[in-house]
Amino acid sequence: MPLRRFSRPAVETFIDIERPNTCDKQPEQGYRSIGCFYAAISQGIKTLCDDSVFEQARKTRGHCQISGEEYYGGAGKLFAVTDKASALKAIEEIVHQGEGVSENILNETVCEHADKTLEPESIDDGDTLADGWKMYSHYVRFREIQFGRRYLPTQKITDTPAGDIIPIDWSEVYPTVTNPQAADYKGTDIEPAVDNFNGTYTQLIDNIYAAFNGEKSDVAQSEPAGMRKAVTVMWELKYQAIALMKTPSPLAMHQGETVGAPFEYLR
């Protein structure tokens, strides 16, 4: 999957990833969709994880749970995974947030989905953000972006969206290089900024890893820790990425394009 600017090909790639599929067979190589990936995880939990697995995890990894106190600003729920039931519930929660819906949605209307807010195959999980925006499945949202229109309530998901227009100007996008790499900018004036971005990205990944391995936030601490620290670094990464997306590439082979953010983890 290429790292590229917002474009029709990029949206089509995400549609392929999110496309609803029936996952009745174990794949020999990869998964047909992200839905099949989550279905395989659920099946693995059911098949391989007996009570002893979770009992051992509670003893050795119980302190690694991220609590609801460290989650804010989004829809959905955050809860501890302590047994098989809560593990399966966590996968369902991910699906409800729009990841990996079943192909059962394809023959139903948007209105019918909205009435099925508690079922995993629904495109509408019943959650809303603070501004009242409904959390539809990623597949449906990408389809609306692809065609520049919302779905009408009576339309099926297989239909071309024909509702309100979504204003999209594909030309108003920073012309970033596809698959930017730090190595391409060695010896150029932009090298320090690219390296700094990758350093911040590495810090973000390391902070998330630490948070999921027991490092907790404490509001009494002078410095943030755990997931709160990761969120702070995430914002820093955002501003660095925007700066690189605005910076013209100094390379002749990328004339007329901007540098973009490489997202390379520094080992």
Spatial distance between the Cα atoms of 50 and 6, rounded to a whole number of angstroms: 44
- pLDDT at position 141 is 87
CA distances (Å), origin 192, targets 195, 234, 240: 5, 19, 12
Query: Does an H or E element contain 223, and which?
Result: none
- pLDDT at position 130 is 57
- pLDDT at position 250 is 96
Spatial distance between the Cα atoms of 241 and 14, rounded to a whole number of angstroms: 21
Q: What is the pLDDT of residues 197-231, one digit of tens each?
A: 999 999 999 999 988 888 776 655 556 677 888 88
Angle at alpha carbon of residue 99, lines to 95 and 100, rounded to 5°: 85
- pLDDT at position 244 is 98
102 with 120: CB under 8 angstroms? yes
Q: Are strands 124-128 and 134-136 parallel, antiparallel or unpaired?
A: antiparallel
- DSSP code at position 70: G
Tell me which residues of the chain have a pLDDT lower than 50.
Answer: 117-123, 125
Query: Does an H or E element contain 218, and which?
Result: none
- Provide the 10 A C-beta neighbour count for residue 143: 23
- pLDDT at position 122 is 45
- pLDDT at position 153 is 82
Q: CB within 8 A of 235, min separation 6: which ones? A: none
For residue 235 the two structure tokens come to 């914002």
- pLDDT at position 108 is 72
